Amino acid sequence: MTQAAYQAEPHGEPYRGDPWPTIEPPLSAARPAPPAMSVAPPARPPLTAPADPIAAAEANHPGHAYADDARRSFLRMVSHELRTPLNAIIGFSEIISTEMCGPLSPQYREYGEIIRSSGHRLLKLVNQTLEIVKLEGGSLELQPSAELLDLVFADAERACADELAQRGLTVQVDLPEPVPAVLADAKAIRNAVVNLVQNACVYAPEGGVVRLSARVMGPLVQLAVTDAGEGIDPAEVPRLMRPFEQGENALVRRAEGAGLGWPVVELICKAMGGRFEIETAPGRGLSALITLRRAG
């Protein structure tokens, strides 16, 4: 366009023709608002407790699997290679001591009885060792059920009949009415009570009483095996809860065994969700206490 187009028309009127269109709207016109930002922040992962690095390392360590394999191999070896010949030794020694195949001299009959009793003692040690290994490794399968304590105590008394007779001991059972039942594995609870009765047979005064009792404590039931023996120093109890620990000097020890009774009972109680405690004092006897959940 020429410069004349911008010059005023005649009579002083301005030029009204603007050759360029309006580009921006008037200032009074409303401008559209900018679009809202709709970008959501990234989702955060849920909070979880941090993993134990030590436990994870132990679980993933090659030695962990090796230890499990070694434990299983040990159980198989002990179960077959030791228990099988022991059962044969015990069985044939009973045949000899009872003269089932013909009369024997008193001396040979006594030898047969010594072999039988020694075999039973060794078999008990093997069974306790197997049980500790299974309990510590978590491979002992328990089946909890309602177990009436009068039946449990009666079975334990029968199992310990020989030990009771040797020391002239009697069993006193004290149970509330109605007879309480505990939630426990049938074999495990009997094994625990038998271990405690055998221990009481050793330390109860000869011709004395072993007391089996129970009391209901709300949702719990507490079993007690009590003897009136010499008792022990309470400070010794934690040490005696460890496997292969014994309470007397080897030179004056009255009890035979490897010190596995209390550790087995404690592990059994923990596996069944209960606890095992000892109440004792020198000169005041000893009470072994098992606390389990009440059934029903």
Residue 155 and residue 258 share a domain: yes
Residue type, 296: G
Residue 242 and residue 126 share a domain: no
Q: Which pLDDT band holds residue 52 (cuts at 50, 70, 90)?
A: very low
Residue 159 and residue 132 share a domain: no
Domain of 262 in residue numbering reads as: 144-293
264 CB-near residues (< 8 Å, 6+ apart): 128, 131, 132, 135, 191, 192, 195
Domain membership flag for residue 20: no
Q: State pLDDT tens for residues 26-48.
A: 444 455 555 554 444 444 444 33
CATH code of the domain covering residue 199: 3.30.565.10
Closest CA to 223 of 288, 296, 146: 288
Residue 153 and residue 124 share a domain: no
Overall size of the chain counted in residues: 296
pLDDT of residue 72: 66
CA distance 291 to 221: 6
pLDDT of residue 66: 63
Residue 285 and residue 211 share a domain: yes
Question: Among the listed ranges 62-66, 84-88, 186-190, which one has the minimum average pLDDT value?
Answer: 62-66
b/e for 118-145, b at 16 or more Cβ within 10 A? ebbeebbbebbbbbbbbbeeeebebebe
Domain membership flag for residue 220: yes
Q: Which pLDDT band holds residue 117 (cuts at 50, 70, 90)?
A: confident
Q: Domain boundary at 137, 159, 177, which? A: 137
Residue indicated by tokens 């094994």: 191
- Does the pLDDT at position 256 exceed 50? yes
More confident residue, 281 or 66: 281
Q: State pLDDT tens for residues 214-223.
A: 999 999 999 9
Residue type, 184: A
- What is the mean predicted confidence (pLDDT) over 193-210? 94
- What is the mean predicted confidence (pLDDT) over 63-76? 65
Rounded to two decimals, what is the model's pTM? Answer: 0.66
